[in-house]
Structure 1
């Protein structure tokens, strides 16, 4: 399975990425071995994710989410939190 995710950083900024394992990726981010962006903004927490069968679909969705404004991302996260149990 492939995942697109959004993490909330300690400075309240958002980072979007994709992975094949949410658990491993979160550990990598929080150990400072994730994205350069999150290294200085630890700890991070996953606040949103979507699942995809194909890597290419996850990467397309990651790109689409990165094009959204912060407000649009917050709406996406809010809807996700209301409809799931993170």
Structure 2
């Protein structure tokens, strides 16, 4: 089973999951067709019971991690044109 691992310097899985569930709950089409029943192992989130929801979750989480990498790679100050 594929899992989103927590690692130093990366957005925690629970934070990403909060964003995912908020998007689902606040989007009428998703809310109507995306069950959020979750499976827990040892009291911690493992995966969504519905396979389609779990696939959506994994794509969302990977996209959030990718966005974080892109954001971290961007310069902190805007690039200014070189003056001649």
More strand by share: 1
Q: Please state which band the TM-score falls in when normalised by the shorter chain.
A: under 0.3
TM-score (norm 2): 0.27
Bigger RCO of structures 1 and 2 (CA < 8 A, at least 6 apart)? 1
TM-score between the two structures when normalised by the length of structure 1: 0.27
Greater helix percent: which structure? 2
Structure with max Cα Rg: 2
